[in-house]
Amino acid sequence: MLGLSAKDTGFLLFVTFLTLATPILLQPFPETSSLAQFNAGYPDLMQRFAIYGIFAIGFNILFGLTGYLSFGHAAFLGVGSYSVVWMYKLLSFNVLPGLILAIVLSGVFALLIGYVSLRRSGIYFSILTLAFAQMSYNLAYSVFTPLTNGETGLQVYTSDPQILMGEGSTQVPNLFGLVMQDSIKLPVGDWLFTFNVGYYFTAVIAIFVFYISLRIFRSPFGLILRAIKTNRTRLSYAGINTRPYMLAAFVISGMYAGLAGGLLAAMDPLAGAERMQWTASGEVVLMTILGGAGTLMGPVLGAGFIKYFENIFSKINESVLHDWFGALPEPVRDFLIAIVSPFVGDGWQLTLGLLFVLVVVFLPGGIMEGARRIGSIFRRKPAAAEPAKLPETPPAVAGDPAGE
Amino acid sequence: MTTTSHNVVLHVDDVRKTFGGLHALSDIDLAVEEGKTHAIIGPNGAGKSTLLNVIVGRLAPTSGAVVFDGHILTGKQPHEINQLGVARVFQTPEIFPDLPVLHNVMTPAFAKRDGSYKLHIWENLLDEKTIQEEAESILQDVGLWERRMDHAGALSRGDKRRMELAMCLIQHPRLLLLDEPTAGMSRHDTNTTIDLLKKLKERGMTKIIIEHDMHVVFSLADKISVLAQGRIIAEGDPEDVRNDPKVKEAYLGGAN
Ligand SMILES: Nc1ncnc2c1ncn2[C@@H]1O[C@H](COP(=O)(O)OP(=O)(O)OP(=O)(O)O)[C@@H](O)[C@H]1O
Ligand SMILES: [Mg+2]
């Protein structure tokens, strides 16, 4: 179905289900429990899961398949955000024209940056992409201030033309009147579920672009990108000109980043140059590696993981810790708080850094490798009971030997 | 020099290659006839691999030119040279170690079918039945079909070489360059490879083969060129070369 094998179709349906059920799945604790602060099912955060998931899925097409590490993808994120806000200013608060512009414009940017950067490989390629992104960042603050509004950031003013806005038009981001920030709240017993328009809008787009990435992974194009990663020079002696493939992968991943940046502005009608900063480029690298570069689901999980940390761990401050350890005798409590507090609240990045180190050292394949190892523990027993036999149909093609 | 024959498909014309002060190739002239197996032998460091590097575009010659089937190869990119029908098995196997054997063999087939680039983004590899079947049948020919799911990096040196041969054969090259194709192989596998190469000859494939194993050379070669210190010191039928005193001298190391 949809040009996929039965196994992949099942996989896609599973991912679709998880994405659509996210507002329920991420809300496991009742509102009344003290664990409710670990719930992640609120619109803001879920939108970010989906948006950064898109960013990471696209990044993975470049980095995961070809091994070319770009340190400049945040530039496309910024281009996407500015595109959407400009369309708000010129046309109306309908997000659609802006998102289309975001994808097209970031594709053009990626074509230019990729064309130059791909003249080099390895560390030189990474440095070139970083340099381009930092240049974009600086230009946004200097030469391009008429376009970016410099440090204030780009936003919509009442004096803007907004030529498509009529009398009763919605004054907030919407899709043909469907307001992004609207939510339906559904209390079930002690639980409270929030179904947000913006989340579902980003989720449907995320599922669609995940499907595209799945198709790319399974295509001959994907095979050649993998071959580039493992031995690029061999491909040229096999008659393949690797440059167009690399450039295509770079542009596709740039367009994903532009779409993600556009969606950020579709949820919150602002765009600032800090979105282009090198830290934002580094973040998507961390997401991809943490989740498992070159796997389909890994980058999405990595993105969710990091955004969860950023939003949930950062909220655990000393008073929360006092609540947790309140029942303990005072010296024990103070001791525990002294140990734990540097790692939570503002220290969430410390914890994330430690986790990252642990993953890279012990699980170089990221979260997905961890999942696979756990899976193989459970699978070992039945496998031993059956005599080993050769597969009749080649699973390397049916499944996915390099990814997954 | 025997450039008089009519069906010459590859001409190496007065090629020189220096690395700094080292004369790796000097005044090389070579004419390879269509459908023939041309062996190049010579002691270590004689310049044999360098000559193949010049032919496939890995190295630019210091002077001279290579002409294949009317096309001047000198100055062309490796992928362009391959697209003209030149495929090569390298001395140290050049493969895709992280990909399964089957995908290693399928990859060059896309270049053969679609040209040097075609972005098949929207097709599924599973639907490439023709290419997959051909890859499997060639893997059967080289005796690696059972291992088609293994990662190529896990193969032994001899098996990697056979797989690389399969990667070349799926392209049905007009000229096949083999740099020590049986090095690292057992006696049995060497003989299977000889049989396979003989079969290719029956199909009319032109080959240049570099080999230290004289059993292989004399089983396959129609013509032999002997290279020593970057020069061709002898050339001719296997029998002539075998009895040439200069060749014996070069191999005994008393060339100067
Ligand atoms: N890229 C290079 N840069 C510098 N010197 C090189 C290079 N390639 C080859 N050489 C030198 O050129 C000479 C010929 O090397 P070549 O590899 O062609 O020998 P060969 O005949 O293939 O030997 P062998 O039988 O050991 O494979 C050697 O002295 C080698 O060190
Ligand atoms: Mg050699």
**B132/B77 same-domain check:** no
- Any idea which ligand is nearest the CA of B58? 1
Residues with CB under 6 A from ligand 1: B 19, 22, 24, 42, 44-50, 91
Contact residues, chain A, for B124 at CB < 8 Å: 3-5, 215, 218-219
Note whether A219 contacts B121, CB cutoff 8 Å: yes
Mean pLDDT of chain B, nearest integer: 92
Note whether A240 contacts B111, CB cutoff 8 Å: yes
Distance B200 CA to ligand 2 centre (A): 23
CA distance A218 to chain B (A): 6
Domains defined for chain A, CATH in brackets: 6-277 (1.10.3470)
A4 at the B interface (CB within 8 A)?
yes
Ranking A108-122, A297-311, A314-328 by mean pLDDT, the lowest is A314-328
**B240/B204 same-domain check:** yes
**B72/B102 same-domain check:** no
Q: Could you report the per-residue pLDDT of A137-158, keeping only the tens digit for each?
A: 999 999 999 999 988 999 999 8
pLDDT range class, residue A381, cuts 50, 70, 90: low
Q: Could you report the per-residue pLDDT of B207-247, keeping only the tens digit for each?
A: 999 999 999 999 999 999 999 999 999 999 999 888 888 88
CB A205 within 8 Å of CB B47? no
**B125/B225 same-domain check:** no
- Residue to probe by mutation, ligand 1, list B18, B50, B56, B210, most atoms within 8 Å of CB: B50
**B194/B251 same-domain check:** yes
**B76/B185 same-domain check:** yes
For residues A165 and A246, what is the distance between their CA atoms, to the nearest angstrom? 42
**B156/B181 same-domain check:** no
Question: What's residue A322's pLDDT?
Answer: 81
pLDDT range class, residue B3, cuts 50, 70, 90: very low
Report the complex ipTM. Answer: 0.93
Atom 18 of ligand 1: nearest residue by CA position: B47
Contact residues, chain A, for B56 at CB < 8 Å: 237
State the total domains in chain B: 2
Q: Could you report the per-residue pLDDT of A71-96, keeping only the tens digit for each?
A: 999 999 999 999 999 999 999 999 99
Segment holding B33, helix H or strand E:
strand B22-33
Atom 17 of ligand 1: nearest residue by CA position: B49
Whether the predicted pLDDT of B252 surpasses 70 = no
Buried b (16+ CB within 10 A) or exposed e, A345-368: bebbeebbeeebeebeeebebbbb
The C-alpha R_g of chain A, in whole angstroms, comes to 23
**B40/B79 same-domain check:** yes
Closest to B117 measured CA to CA, from B164, B72, B70, B82: B82
Closest to A191 measured CA to CA, from A391, A356, A32, A400: A32
**B81/B139 same-domain check:** no
HSE, side-chain direction, 13 A CA sphere, residue A7: 9
Q: Could you report the per-residue pLDDT of A256-290, keeping only the tens digit for each?
A: 999 999 999 999 999 999 999 999 999 999 999 99
Sign of CA dihedral A267, A271, A274, A275: positive
Question: What's residue B107's pLDDT?
Answer: 97
CA distance A25 to chain B (A): 33
**B71/B189 same-domain check:** yes
For residues A157 and A268, what is the distance between their CA atoms, to the nearest angstrom? 14
Q: Which of B172, B199, B229 is the last residue of a domain?
A: B172
Q: Could you report the per-residue pLDDT of A183-201, keeping only the tens digit for each?
A: 999 999 999 999 999 999 9
Give the three-class secondary structure for B114.
helix
The C-alpha R_g of chain B, in whole angstroms, comes to 18
Nearest to B102 among A224, A396, A402 (CB): A396
Q: Domain residues for B29? A: 1-85+175-256
Q: Provide the pairing of β-strand B71-72 with B63-68.
A: antiparallel
Q: Which of B110, B138, B172 is the last residue of a domain?
A: B172
Q: Which of B122, B141, B172 is the last residue of a domain?
A: B172
**B183/B238 same-domain check:** yes
Note whether B106 contacts A223, CB cutoff 8 Å: yes
On whether the pTM is more than 0.90, the answer is: yes
